[in-house]
Chain A
Amino acid sequence: GENVEQHPSTLSVQEGDSAVIKCTYSDSASNYFPWYKQELGKRPQLIIDIRSNVGEKKDQRIAVTLNKTAKHFSLHITETQPEDSAVYFCAARPYSGGGADGLTFGKGTHLIIQP
């Protein structure tokens, strides 16, 4: 089955700086890669996703890049703000003959924005 590795487990950056979180996946059949943000005590919320036919996607201060050959994808947050502090999860979803399967998540990155 799919295996997703996520690094780092904790990331502390100064407010206004950029943050980068990296994930690798193992199953070449995976074709969908979402990123979720989870604040303490709240549900995971989708912040951006990318499909395997695209190399990069941007949404304001957030961007995701995908390298299918190397099987890795990254989340980039620019001009970080205090409200960006949360745990971020990457995920991969394989596509089997019967349709898309469940999400396999990385272990999460605790992003801390220092004022």
Chain B
Amino acid sequence: KAGVTQTPRYLIKTRGQQVTLSCSPISGHRSVSWYQQTPGQGLQFLFEYFSETQRNKGNFPGRFSGRQFSNSRSEMNVSTLELGDSALYLCASRKNRESEAFFGQGTRLTVV
């Protein structure tokens, strides 16, 4: 069974630009969550989607948004990039909202 796949693996963007990251969950998993990982703040929850609906959201500004498609694939968008948005963005998928989460390898975003 294929694991959680994130694309692209690496991105370099300029301040003020926007970026879209993609996450394909494990087949049969309906929940996708997004996390930001930085050396200073650790792993922080961004938001979770289940059956195309955002179920809950972490404490991040509105520049961070996402969506989920009918095939459970999810995208995360960050608009008006800031230097502080440089981080490893991880997505995790779950079969249902009660089961364990499996992480993708992440997208390393660098904002210059």
Name A residues whose Cβ lies closer than 8 Å to a Cβ of B: 1, 32, 34, 36, 42-46, 49, 89, 91, 96, 98-108
Q: Is the CB of B97 within 8 A of A99?
A: yes
With a CB–CB cut-off of 8 A, which chain A residues contact B105?
42-43
* Majority-rule SS of B interface residues: strand
Q: Is the CB of B97 within 8 A of A105?
A: no
Q: Is the CB of B90 within 8 A of A44?
A: yes
With a CB–CB cut-off of 8 A, which chain B residues contact A100?
97-98
With a CB–CB cut-off of 8 A, which chain A residues contact B42?
89, 105-108
Cβ of B55 within 8 Å of any chain A Cβ, yes or no, is yes
Of the listed stretches B15-23, B43-51, B64-72, B77-85, name the one at the interface; the rest are far from the partner chain. Answer: B43-51
Q: Is the CB of A43 within 8 A of B103?
A: yes
Name the residue on B nearest A108 (C-beta): B42
Q: A43-B90, A43-B104, A46-B100 are in contact. Are A101 and B43 (CB under 8 A)?
A: no
